[in-house]
Amino acid sequence: MKISELCKMIEDSIHSGRYPLDQDIEKQMAGLVQVINRSSSDDLKEKDIKIEVRLKDLYVLNNYIQSIQHLPGVIEIDALDSFKMLSRRIGRIEKSNISFHT
């Protein structure tokens, strides 16, 4: 499997609601998430793998080495965790902006 295929699969799974999303903000943001391969190669055997999880203007960049056991699953879990963290952060930003404008 190529890294870009894995990223697309994770992104599509979040968009479709395959993963359980606990908070309303996560459900609202699910369609906006992007999971992007920022590695210099598309090969899972690459020495330095970089996966970006982006939600609006916020993003998380995770680095991996190819020798991690169950690497595709680890990337999947990290991407989902990053999405949830970014969703909460956006929720707090939006809540803060409403507080300042009312």
Q: Give me the CATH number covering residue 18.
A: 3.30.720
In tens digits, the chain (102 residues) has pLDDT values of 899 999 999 999 999 999 999 899 999 999 999 999 999 999 999 899 999 999 989 999 999 998 899 999 999 999 999 999 999 999 998 888 766 554
Q: Into how many domains does the chain fold?
A: 1
Residue 39 has, within 13 A of its CA and on its CB side, a CA count of 23
- Asked if residues 62 and 42 have their Cβ atoms less than 8 Å apart, the reply is no
Host domain of residue 30: 3-101
CA distances from 26 to 2, 33, 78 (A): 27, 10, 15
Dist CA 33 CA 56 (whole Å): 8
pLDDT, residue 66, reads: 86
